Structure formats: structure tokens, C-alpha cells
Structure 1
Amino acid sequence: MQYLPKTPKQKLYYGLTAIAIALGIAGVMVWNGHQQPKAVTEDIPAVQTAVINTTAATQEYTYSGEVRGRYESQLAFQVSGKVIKRYVERGSTVKAGDLLMKIDPKDLQQLVNSNSAQVYSAESNLKLAEANLKRFQQLYQHGVVSKAVLDQYQTAYDVAVAGTRQASAQLSAGVNQLDYSSLYADHSGVISQINVEAGQVVGAGQPVLTIVLDGEREVEISVPENRIEELRKSPKIQVSFWALPNITTEGKVREIAPMADPVTRTYKVRITLLNPSPEIKLGMTASVTLLGNETQAAAIVPLSAIYQTGDTPCVWVVTGETVTLRQVKTGKFGNGTVEIVSGLQQGDRIVTAGVHKLREGQKVNPGGDTL
């Protein structure tokens, strides 16, 4: 391609254009040099806060237990034998004198029959000995027999009397044993446990069932040895029931076991229920709450307010418009809450949500309510 030489007018035009561009750039630079730099704005987050309102806390300790009867009796047969019939179920309500269980009476009946025969034989021997004694007494009075012969018949009569008494006693014992083959309730109450079934052979004195006598109801709990003294000093005991959420009753300590369980190192404690509802049944699961005396003032805060640093719980305290991390000591945990026993004062404002997004000294826009 061939380029034509520029004319004088063209040269003048291009020169003026270059000068104008240079002056424009210089003007812009001078104008920018006189402008103030823009301030960098900080993003201030809005946080949910609450003002601390401390109250006196009450110590509470809760233990699980089971509803029991104050008086429980283990019943057993007085003779051994094979169980042939059970007349009650677990939970059955019985009255004094009701038939509960029976063992096979065949062997005992045979023993009674044998003793009856022995009584008949002894009575027959007694009649014969008595008749002989009377006859020889008459002979002795007429001088026919000697005193020695009369003494022999007197001794035979005395032996026959003793034999009759012995046979009668054996018969009476046999009849009693036959009666013992049937087990009766000695008190009114509820059958709480059955240990044997029909077909099993039991020994004399072996517990076969347990009856809870009518009357007071109690809850049995296990208390650690380090809480026994607090139990003694507890001014109030409340008992609630898992199956009856709307029923709560008061209780009192009736008995503390003198020795701890060697395995669990806990003490068995019996809590008597005061004015229990008829709906409270034996065997129900109960929660026993021991209410202690008031302790130092404490605050209840949401769990979301706790900022955990290692093993140390902390909270963000708002002072003015900035936050500061403060260590606290926690107490009892509740349903989504925790008790702060030290580290906070009345009127302190803390952050209750989003605590893991904050940093020390950060400005915030607080808002919230009083705890």
C-alpha cells in the first residue's frame, strides 16, 4: 500500500487534537487530586439480646423410684408338695381368708387316714386295758391275786392311755398339715408377685407369692451416699408419676437404710406419699424431687447464649454498642435453658443468638427483652 504525504492543514489538525487530549488528562488528574477519600463503612450486625434478671435459685435433686406398699408379706406353704392350682393373678385384689394357691393333698390325706387308724387301735387297746384293770381290781379285793399282778394291769392301762393321747395328737397334726395344703390370704391387699406356677414342687417355707397389704403407699428410691444429708434437710419433697403427668403429691422420708448397697453404694430410701390419689397404682414409675433451700442469685439464659471456649462457658456481654466475651459458671440445665450462677450481674445485656459469629470488641445493633 502507498501512503500519501500529509498536507499542512492535516498536520495542524492532528497536532491540536493531541494537545487537547493531553490537557484533558491533566485536568482529570488535578481534579482527582483535590477530592477527599471516601470513608469505608463497617457492617454492623443486628443481634438478639436480653437483659439479665437474677433470681434466687432453689436446689433440686430428682430420683426415680417405684410405688410400693408400706407393708409387704411373702406367703409360703407350711408343708411341701406339688402345686396343683393357683387362684390369683399378679395385681389381683384379695381379702383376708381368700384361697390363693393349693398343693396336692393326696400324701397328706393318706397320713391323716393312717393316724386315724392308729387312734382307733389305741382306743381299742385302752378299752381292753381298762376292762382288765377293773377285773383284777375286784380279784385283788377278794385276795385272789397279789398286789404285784394288779400293778402290772395298772401299768398296762396307763400305757394305753398315753398311747391314745399320742395317736390323737398325731391325728390332729396330720389334719393341720392337710389344711396347710391350701394357702389363704392372711390380710386384705394386692398380689404383687407370684414366684411359682402349677406343677412346681415347693418346700415348706419357700415364698410362693407376695401380697401388699392395704394402707399406705410409698416410693422406694436409691440415693447416693453424698446426698443423704441433703435428703435429711430437704424441707419439701414432691412426687410425680410417669403414667399420671397431671398428678403430683407431697411425700416425707419414712426410712433410710442403715447400710449402703455394696455394689451401687446407694442407700434405699422409703418416701411415704401424703394423701395419694386413688389413681396411683403399685409398681408405677415415680420421680421424687427434693427441694432444697434457696441458694445464691442466679439467671436463667437460653442455651444458645453460651459461647464455649474449650471447657469454659462464656457469654457475649453488650456494653454500649460493642460486645465483650465474659466467662460464666453454669448450674442446672433445663429444657433449652441453663442456669448461670456466677459471672453475670443484674441488668447485664447479653447476646442470646448467633454468638459464634461475633468477635471481641465488635460493634452490634442490640435488641431484645428481659430474661
Structure 2
Amino acid sequence: MKAYWKYTAAAMAVVAALSLTGCGQQTQQAEQPQLVKAIQVGSERAGTTAGTYSGTVKGRYQSNLSFQAGGRITARNVQLGSQVHAGDVLMTVDPKDVAQAVNQTQAQVDAAAAQLQLAQSNLTRYQQLYDMDAISASVLDQYQTAYDQASAQYNQALAAQQAQENQLSYTQLTADADGVIAAVSAGVGQGVAVSAEVGQVVAAGQTVVTLVHSGDLEVQVNVPENKLADFPVGKNVTVTFWALQNQQAAGVVREVAPMADAASRTYQVNIALPNPPDGMQLGMTATVANGSEQAAAEDTFVLPLAAIYQTGDTPQVWIVGKDKTLSLKDVTVQDFGDNTVKVTGLSRGDVVVTAGVHMLSEGQKVRVEGEDE
């Protein structure tokens, strides 16, 4: 019996030791630092754009077209990207009411013409009687006045008819130049642009089609005020097109906005392209490099938009230190792209957290995804 209890106690001690070892492993595993996604600033994944600005290919000239007469849209002949020529009918609103008004004014013209013809006939006959001294001058004057009134009424009816015919022509929206349809919109509803479709009612003067004229295309970029001096009118710049396998073209600063945008506090700069590359289309993304040493003095880096941490007025990013401890660093936003943001204030080699930034805290220990444990 003593031997039994001896072996039983030994077995229980082994089990307890194994249990303690397992708990220790679980505790150690639970205390491992949080795993985060991060990129190193200046690497290929982060992207560096010293003295460069992203922009979009725009048309130098465009028309915001609207109907001169409101009504219900009955025909839409174009889509986004449609190529059109001057005079092409783009849309039509219901002409029924205007056509009826034209018919009414035509009837008024016919009636006025009949009255004028009668007045002309009377005036001719009484002029002959006056020439034969058969009537007095006062009688002839009465018929002359009647003729003048009939003539004025006829001209008035003609003018009214012409006005209604103009209104009828206004029910068709035509292209004022050769070009490409860049937008088809009947306004904004609940913050979203509403496409102009058949059956919708539009008002006179309401823009429904934006037409970019064929010919000159240019690149539009937004430049922060502290870099505006790098873009004087006439300066030569280099434009790179991502969609054309990074093909480059020479550009010239054509125009600089005199006022900053109220929301972004940046200035619109239009870059003319004397020799645009083949295949360049409206809406393409372009990168403009001004070649300025001043602009290159402070590196600008492109980060994922999710890397920005902002709870107040100053945007920040989480920096992973060499000891894998997090700290916040202020940055200055220069521009926004598609799910990206262009910032200054970082140094090459900084490791920036790119996801889950609002679930982290100052001084927190982390592990970087992809790094060796």
C-alpha cells in the first residue's frame, strides 16, 4: 500500500509540473506583442515623390450644357465618353406644350395676315377714290391708319411665332463643339450626383451635360501654398503617365489659380502638353515633377490612407521604433489619391503602421508582420 501511494504521488507531481509548464506557455503566448502591418518609408512599397504632385488629365476647354426650356426628358442620345460633333442632338425634352403654342401663334399669324390683306385692299381702293376726288383726305387717313394697325399686328404675331419656334428648338440640346461627353447629370440628390435619364424633369438653365472640347488636353494638379513658388507660369515640368507604362512628356505651366481652394487650401495649377503621348485620355492619372531643388529638399512620401491617425487638427502616423515600441509622429498632408495620401514630415527609413491605427496606443510593444520573429 505504501508503494502504491508512493507511485501515485510521483505521478501527480509529474502531471502538476506539466500543467504548470502548459500554463506558462499559454501566459507567454498571451503576452506576445500585437502584430501590425507596416511599411518602411522610402521603400518600394511606400513610394517617394520628392517634388512631385499627382494630377489628372483634363480638357482645356469644356462646356456645361443646359436646356433653354425646361421639361421632361424624352430622349438621351449620349453616354459618358461618347464622341460627338458640333450640332449633334444630345438630349430632348418633351416638345408637346411648346409645339401647341407654336400652332396657336401660327393661327394668330394667319388671322393677322388676313386682316392686313383686307386693310391693304381697302387702302388701295380708297386711294384710287381719293385720286379721283371722290373722298376727302380725312377718309383716306382712316384707311391708312387701319392698314398701319393691321401691319403692326401682323408683325407682332410673326414675332410671337418666331419666339415660340425658338422655344421649340430649345427642347433639343445640341453640342456646341466637337468633343467627348465627360458628365451627364441632372444635379445632386442627397449628396450624390443624379444622372439625367429619360423621364426626369429638368429646369431651364440646369446643367445636364458636360462636354470637353476636342483638341488641347492638359494636366491639373493641386499644389500647397508653400510650394506654389515652384510653379511659375511658363516653367517646364516633366509629366509621367502611370497608365501608359510611366511614359513621360514635357509640360509647361500654363495657368495658376489666383486663390486657394477653400477646403484643401491648395492652388490649382494647369499644365499644358505641347506634345502629348499617344493613348493619353481624359481622366488619366499623371505625376508632375517640377525638378526644383527647393521642392526636393523635403521628401514627400505616399502612404496608404489607412496609415493616418487623426483625433484633432494635426494628422499623425504611428512609428515603430527600433525597440518595437510605438510613438506618434506629426505629418503634413500634401495631397490625396485613390486610397493613398501624400505627406511630408517623415524621414527615410521610418517604419509606419498602415492598418488598425486607431486601436494602438503610445509606447505599445508590437511585432511587424513579415519580419523574422
- The two structures share one fold, judged by TM-score above 0.5: yes
Alignment partner, residue 184 of structure 2: 194
Structure 2's unaligned 5+ residue stretches are 1-48, 186-195, 298-320, 328-344, 352-373
CA distance in 2, matches of 1:235, 1:333: 29
Look up the SS of the partner of 1:148 in the other structure. Answer: helix
CA distance in 2, matches of 1:239, 1:174: 51
- 1:83 corresponds to which of 73, 81, 86: 73
CA distance in 2, matches of 1:184, 1:233: 35
Matched, 1:178 2:168: yes
CA distance in 2, matches of 1:201, 1:178: 16
Matched, 1:120 2:135: no
Letter in 2 for 1:254: R
C-alpha contact 1:83 1:198 (8 A) present in aligned 2: yes
C-alpha contact 2:87 2:177 (8 A) present in aligned 1: yes
Alignment partner, residue 228 of structure 2: 228
- 2:101 corresponds to which of 86, 93, 111: 111
CA distance in 2, matches of 1:250, 1:334: 32
The correspondence of residues 1-371 of structure 1 with structure 2, limited to 5 A, is 60-195=50-185, 196-232=196-232, 236-293=236-293, 333=348
Normalising to structure 2: TM-score of the pair? Answer: 0.61
Deviations 1:256-300 (A, max 9, x none): 001111232211111112421231110112222221148999xxx
Change (3 A) 1:145 1:334: farther
Look up the SS of the partner of 1:197 in the other structure. Answer: coil
C-alpha contact 2:51 2:296 (8 A) present in aligned 1: no
CA distance in 2, matches of 1:120, 1:144: 33
Structure 1's unaligned 5+ residue stretches are 1-58, 298-305, 312-329, 337-371
Letter in 1 for 2:143: Y
CA distance in 1, matches of 2:270, 2:52: 14
C-alpha contact 1:63 1:289 (8 A) present in aligned 2: yes
Q: Bigger radius of gyration, 1 or 2?
A: 1
Deviation at 1:119, TM superposition (A): 0.9
Deviation at 1:219, TM superposition (A): 1.2
Look up the SS of the partner of 1:82 in the other structure. Answer: strand
Q: Which has the higher strand share?
A: 1
Letter in 2 for 1:203: A
Change (3 A) 1:283 1:142: same
Look up the SS of the partner of 1:291 in the other structure. Answer: coil
Letter in 1 for 2:178: S
CA distance in 1, matches of 2:234, 2:140: 85
Could you tell which deviates more after superposition, 238-247 or 65-74?
238-247
C-alpha contact 1:78 1:180 (8 A) present in aligned 2: yes
Letter in 1 for 2:348: F
Letter in 2 for 1:62: T
CA distance in 1, matches of 2:349, 2:247: 21
Letter in 2 for 1:102: T
Normalising to structure 1: TM-score of the pair? Answer: 0.62
C-alpha contact 1:60 1:292 (8 A) present in aligned 2: no
Letter in 2 for 1:333: R
Deviation at 1:203, TM superposition (A): 2.2
Letter in 2 for 1:163: Q
Deviation at 1:202, TM superposition (A): 1.9
Identity across the alignment (%): 48
Deviation at 1:93, TM superposition (A): 1.0
Letter in 1 for 2:104: S
Letter in 1 for 2:96: K
C-alpha contact 1:103 1:181 (8 A) present in aligned 2: yes
Deviations 1:281-321 (A, max 9, x none): 10112222221148999xxxxxxxx979999xxxxxxxxxx
Letter in 2 for 1:80: G
